[in-house]
């Protein structure tokens, strides 16, 4: 499954790169590669803090709507979940690991335009984003007191939506650092209050 996801992402990145580099689309469309980490938690799991790390990998395609407005669509492999504190010599009370496909759709506002070093081009250092992200759970692992508890997975919703807000600072025209906050306005379990949210720190390379 993971190999299929990585192959799909590689093909999608390649297609975006070819489109972004063509003369007809160069000024309107761009493609970016994304790599970073999530720090996640779930409200309702009785474990406080953003203690569950995970990968955030994928690509973004961007379409220019106006001089300072873009539409961004991403396809990500995103690891989410929650875990209780680890005590020496004792198993965790609770551990949840989610492997998700995530498709954020954002409106992007750009600011602080500067020229490149050679003076032949310009770019915006700051980019603010807001939108929604569709999540699909590919697979999940649940452990209670160190033991697998697959029955819990049956009560999870396979699909859910998260609210997204983020900020990107571009050091150069190609390289940026992104900080993102996300929260689901819905429960991802059918039988109890279980509301995921997370922060992400990601590097973005625009092709």
Per-residue pLDDT, 193: 82
The secondary structure of 47-91 as a DSSP string is --SS-EEEEEEEEEEEEEEETTEEEEEEEEEEEEEEEPPPPTTS-
- Domain range for 164: 2-206
Tell me the two tokens of residue 170: 């571009």
What whole-number distance in Å separates Cα of residue 149 and Cα of residue 45?
15
Calculate the average pLDDT of the chain.
87
Task: Quote the pTM value.
Answer: 0.86
Distance CA 45, CA 66 (A): 43
Residue 26, pLDDT > 80, answer no
Q: In this predicted structure, what is the pLDDT of residue 70? A: 97
State the Rg of the chain over Cα: 19
Q: Which domain CATH number covers 12?
A: 2.40.160.20
Instruction: Render pLDDT for 98-150 as a digit per residue (tens, 0 to 9).
Output: 999 999 999 999 999 999 888 888 999 999 999 999 999 999 998 888 788 77
Domain tally, the chain: 1
State how beta strands 147-148 and 122-144 pair: antiparallel
């Amino acid at each position: 499954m993971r190999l299929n996801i990585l192959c799909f992402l590689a093909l999608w990145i390649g297609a975006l790169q070819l489109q972004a580099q063509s003369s007809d689309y160069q000024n309107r469309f761009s493609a970016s590669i994304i790599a970073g980490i999530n720090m996640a938690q779930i409200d309702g799991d009785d474990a406080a803090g953003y203690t569950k790390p995970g990968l955030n990998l994928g690509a973004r395609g961007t379409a220019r709507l106006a001089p300072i407005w873009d539409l961004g669509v991403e396809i990500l492999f995103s690891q989410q979940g929650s875990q209780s504190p680890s005590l020496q010599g004792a198993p965790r009370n609770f551990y949840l690991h989610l492997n998700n496909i995530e498709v954020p759709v954002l409106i992007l506002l750009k600011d602080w335009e500067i020229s490149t070093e050679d003076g032949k081009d310009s770019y915006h250092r700051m980019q603010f984003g807001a939108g929604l992200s569709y999540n699909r759970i590919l697979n999940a692992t649940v452990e209670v007191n160190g033991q697998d508890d697959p029955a819990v997975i049956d009560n999870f919703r396979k699909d859910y939506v998260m609210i997204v807000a983020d900020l990107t600072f571009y050091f150069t025209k190609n390289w940026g650092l992104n900080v993102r906050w996300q929260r689901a306005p819905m429960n991802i379990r059918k039988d109890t209050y279980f509301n995921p949210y997370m922060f992400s720190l990601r590097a973005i390379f625009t092709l």
